[in-house]
Amino acid sequence: MAATATGGSACAAARRARWIDLCVFLGTLGLVAGIELSDEVFHALNGQNDWHRALANALQLMRLENTLGIWVEPGMQTAILRPTHFLGLTLGAPQFVPLFDAIYGLGHVGVTFCFALWIFRCRRPVFAFLRGVFVLATALSVAVSEIVPLAPPRLAIGLRYQGHPFHFLDTVFEHGGVQVAFNEYSAMPSLHLVWALLVGVGMVWLARSLVARVLGGLYPLLILTAVIVTGNHYLLDGAGSLAVVCVATMLAVPLERWHAKDGTFAATLRRLRRARSGDGAARRDAPAGTGMTGYHAA
């Protein structure tokens, strides 16, 4: 009877731990998504009163990229729309537009969700740290876009390319895409690219497979290409998003040190470095309350 009672208690404890794990994971998703959605709700209720500043900033950014010799966005979109003959096949807008629209719309959420689930299941010791980075990066992105509104290329007016007026095609929302955003003047920093950078860096840092690390390194470049050719963001958004990720990471390290009660920053960094291999030391040093049940060092 005692053994039966002990077994029942263990099963009940395991069920409670799984429910706690699920709540932690879903709560994290809700927290990150809630920061972005709160900005959308605000603009849904109050409209876009800063559209004139956003359009003026778009022209200034075009001039800056022209000065730097990197105003290539019109050429990139034109390239995917123009028919190209390859190995007897004609490739162009009918093939490339749906592909990049899918990457823009589905990859942003789907890949980020899969990455979060993988971290939660297989790299639990760094879950709390990466959660902090994601929350801080999302909050910083929203704050910057509110302070400095920027019209995306597809909404910008007065753009020029190679001495001629140029208007970007809205490949996503003019071809069946569902418009769910209310703050349309938030073209930099792009949460698409901010999250892609976090996923890519996380894969390079934490994945064991060389193939996974290479794919992680290429993923931000794929998203950058997608946000440009769909007319939603600019090339310099890469630099702006990278700056946001760097600042968020620097802010997250002292928070992680405080949360884990590490004695020094060096101890925090050592623990995070050990997390790549998923070794026992990193697991033992994981902050309390992150839920280690179901941990898999895959």
CA 273, CA 93: separation in Å to the nearest integer?
A: 44
Report the pLDDT value the prediction gives residue 228, as an integer from 0 to 100. Answer: 93
Q: What is the pLDDT of residues 241-267, one digit of tens each?
A: 999 999 999 999 888 888 777 777 787
d(CA 233, CA 154): 9
DSSP alpha helix (H) spans, 207-263: 210-229, 237-260
What digits encode the pLDDT tens for the residues 141-184? 999 999 999 999 999 999 999 989 999 988 876 654 445 556 78
Whole-number Å distance between alpha carbons of 166 and 159:
6
Band (2; pLDDT cuts 50, 70, 90): low
Q: At what angle do helices 108-122 and 2-46 cross, to 10 degrees?
A: 150
The whole-number pLDDT of residue 93 equals 67
- Please report, as a single letter, which amino acid is at residue 161: Y
pLDDT of residue 270: 81
Give kind and range of the element (H or E) at residue 90.
strand 89-91
Separation CA 285–CA 147 (nearest Å): 39
| pLDDT tens digits for range 189-234 | 989 999 999 999 999 999 989 999 999 999 999 999 999 999 999 9
Distance (Å) of CA 59 to CA 62, 152, 156:
5, 11, 8
Question: Which residues, listed in sequence order, are joined to residue 160 by a DSSP beta bridge?
Answer: 165
Peptide bond just before 189 cis, omega within 30 deg:
yes
- Which of the pair, 281 or 250, is modelled with greater confidence? 250
* Whether pLDDT at 282 is above 50: no
Categorize the per-residue pLDDT at 287 as very low, low, confident or very high, splitting at 50, 70 and 90. Answer: very low
Burial of residue 88 (CB within 10 Å: 0-12, 13-18, 19+) is exposed
What are the angstrom distances between the C-alpha of 221 and each of 197, 210, 225, 276? Answer: 9, 18, 6, 23
Average of per-residue pLDDT across 76-84: 83
Domain boundaries along the sequence of the chain: 49-79+95-284
